[in-house]
Structure 1
Amino acid sequence: MGKIKPKERDAILMSLSVGLVPKIGLQHIQVGRDDEIAAIVTDLERIKDDGTAIRFIIGRYGSGKSFFLTLSRIVALDRKFVVAHADISQGHLLYSTQGKARALYSELMHNLSVKARPDGGALKSIIERYISDVDYKLRSEGKDNKQILSQIHNDLKEDLQNYVNGYDFELVLTKYFEGFESGNDELMDASLRWLYGEYPTKTDAQRDLKVRTIIDDSNYYNYLKLWARFVRKAGYSGFLVTLDEMGAISHHLNVAQSRNSNYKTILDILNDCIQGSTSGIGFIFAGTDDFLDDSHHGVASYPALDYKLRENPLEKMIAPDLKNSRSPVIKLGNLSPEDTYLLLENIRDVFANGDTEKYLVTDEGMKAFLTKCSKILGSDFYMNPRETVKSFVKFLSLLETHPDRSWKDILKQDSSIIKKNPTGDLANLKL
């Protein structure tokens, strides 16, 4: 690895040091998962070709689900996708009659990302990219503001009118252009507020924008499909939606009817994706084994969805060691000891900014560190890399801040580097 950007280096080391997954620079430390990433790349190509894709990333706590999800988003952004991300929680659900599904949609919209804005907040820039491209083209043809507005209206109407709720979506986008051209900030703000799903009543929307509907619990999924169409008109490859913490549905919703309604929504999305009822959009859901397999609260408790996601026992019997890349479920296994070592090597390389002359610990020291980890952590060392990674970053930090001490001294004297049974934030580290 050559030198990396200082921003990426700092993001990686600071995030790992406090038990978080870095939002940028993951490609510099990623190990293993080659087959899984290849499957995601195939999905992205399918979406780009006007298709759809859906995946469920499943693994135990600490197996790397959130890490893999973040890496998938980075891969998508590099391929000119628009990406929306949110965590499922008791306040952000796929189905609700109390505003929680609309809250999920709003969170997704605020987290819209493009390559130039990987940390979210890209909704406005996506709209203005489309407006600027059309405006430049038509002005070069000698068109005036009125003609440009009419052309944008007709262009959007022709493309979106066959979608459910397409008329009002197109109308609000046109209203944004009106405000953009006339310098009417209030009209632009009202348009964005509507697109973010933040209008509480139809009366307010009718007053401000002359639209008949608002985005709510019952129709937000239609608007995700409309966004998928619009971002392609704006020059992007497609739209990817990633949702983490799916276990909030299986283990935080105590009412069976509420759980089943959320599973029904997942089933509807799955059916749309596999039957070709929509296009240009992909979904990645991430959850634990219990989310998928728990027969009382998980997907396994909802037969219609379980049937489509359950592993085929005959396939498993015939080829137990082969992975089916077409299966919507990707199960993340534990990193091998070799991959764990390579992961720490990559972190060492990031710490040294790709300069082997600045390595703070030798290969011998790396092996000694891993040996100590395996003795202290026991089986957790093989099943969960998160504590090992956090400890290693601390180990390197101590070597950097105390150049007079060797790695042998620190491993021998500083017993706080590696701790078994972490608590607090570390126990919830998503790697």
Structure 2
Amino acid sequence: DDNWYDYMKLWSEFTAAIGYKGLLLFIDEGVNLYKITNSVSRQSNYEKLLTMFNDTMQGKAEHLGIYMGGTPQFVEDERRGLFSYDALRSRLIDGRYGSGSLKTYTSPILKLDMLSYEEILILLQKLRDIHALHFKYEPQLTDEQLIAFMQIAVNRLGAEELLTTREVVRDFMDLLHTLHQHPEAVFEELLGERAAAQPQGKGNNEAASDDLDDLLAEFEL
């Protein structure tokens, strides 16, 4: 815990010395720092992030690049997030001119938008072709069938807020495996069973309440 970052800088120097341009360090799930309940420990981690930021921006870690992934809450929450640490907030907050519809890609924070439906369709096309290539068969599903699959996913109540790319990919891969391992299965019938399995006979308010309960079930006080 005391010297891991020093070793990262050492590895970056070694990487440059053997002919590469440097070392990229990816730190995912930054929200876990946000979840630290002890404020002193949380601030200590944020102080380390500040040191890393300063080193890379001021040339003290010349061959080291750092990417950190986290939720907007992890960054912007002024009570427990990165913005609760004033020194980080002043460095990470958007400037006056790049915070509107015109995005810049050299700012410390890159805000990622959710995939559009068109982009999800392209992703499904790639997955379909890769699955067929891996198992050595000719792709069977048409683009119209992929669109039908997407409609089942996005028409679910609350999908606009609750649906994630991970869910779409998981269900689609499950569908591809089922069709491949059971040649007698019919795509339209599988989709029909999936649609029929969704809650029926509920009012909009009741269904929305169930979705909200599922969402809140993961929250911790």
Give the SS at the match of 1:241: strand
Judge conservation of contact 2:78–2:84 (CA < 8 Å) in 1: yes
Judge conservation of contact 2:74–2:81 (CA < 8 Å) in 1: yes
Partner of 1:221: 5
Give the SS at the match of 2:133: coil
Q: CA deviation at 1:297?
A: 0.5
2-structure distance, mates of 1:330, 1:304:
19
Greater RCO (CA < 8 Å, at least 6 residues apart): 1
Structure 2 unaligned spans of 5+: 200-209
Partner of 2:181: 401
Say whether 1:372 aligns with 2:152. Answer: yes
Say whether 1:305 aligns with 2:88. Answer: yes
**Aligned CA-pair RMSD:** 2.8
2-structure distance, mates of 1:379, 1:321:
25
Partner of 1:237: 21
Q: 2:34 aligns with which of 247, 250, 256?
A: 250
Judge conservation of contact 1:246–1:286 (CA < 8 Å) in 2: yes
* Counterpart residue identity of residue 350, structure 1: I
Q: Residues 412 and 333 (structure 1 numbering): CA distance in 2 closer, same or farther, change over 3 Å?
A: same
Judge conservation of contact 2:98–2:104 (CA < 8 Å) in 1: no
Q: CA deviation at 1:288?
A: 0.9
Q: CA deviation at 1:285?
A: 0.9
Q: Residues 409 and 382 (structure 1 numbering): CA distance in 2 closer, same or farther, change over 3 Å?
A: same
2-structure distance, mates of 1:418, 1:305:
45
Q: 1:413 aligns with which of 174, 188, 193?
A: 193
2-structure distance, mates of 1:366, 1:289:
31
1:187-234 Cα shifts (integer Å, max 9, x gaps): xxxxxxxxxxxxxxxxxxxxxxxxxxxxxx1x3322222221122223
Structure 1 unaligned spans of 5+: 1-100, 102-216
Give the SS at the match of 2:185: coil
Give the SS at the match of 1:347: helix
Judge conservation of contact 1:360–1:399 (CA < 8 Å) in 2: no
Q: CA deviation at 1:379?
A: 2.7
Judge conservation of contact 2:153–2:159 (CA < 8 Å) in 1: no
TM, length-normalised to structure 2: 0.81
Correspondences of 1:23-422 after superposition (within 5 Å) = 101=1, 217=2, 219-251=3-35, 253-316=36-99, 320-353=100-133, 358-376=138-156, 378-380=158-160, 384-414=164-194
Q: Residues 330 and 418 (structure 1 numbering): CA distance in 2 closer, same or farther, change over 3 Å?
A: farther
1:60-86 Cα shifts (integer Å, max 9, x gaps): xxxxxxxxxxxxxxxxxxxxxxxxxxx
TM, length-normalised to structure 1: 0.43
Larger Rg: 1
Q: CA deviation at 1:305?
A: 0.5
* Counterpart residue identity of residue 299, structure 1: L
Give the SS at the match of 1:328: coil
1-structure distance, mates of 2:183, 2:78:
54
1-structure distance, mates of 2:28, 2:98:
28
2-structure distance, mates of 1:406, 1:255:
54
Aligned length: 203
Give the SS at the match of 2:27: strand
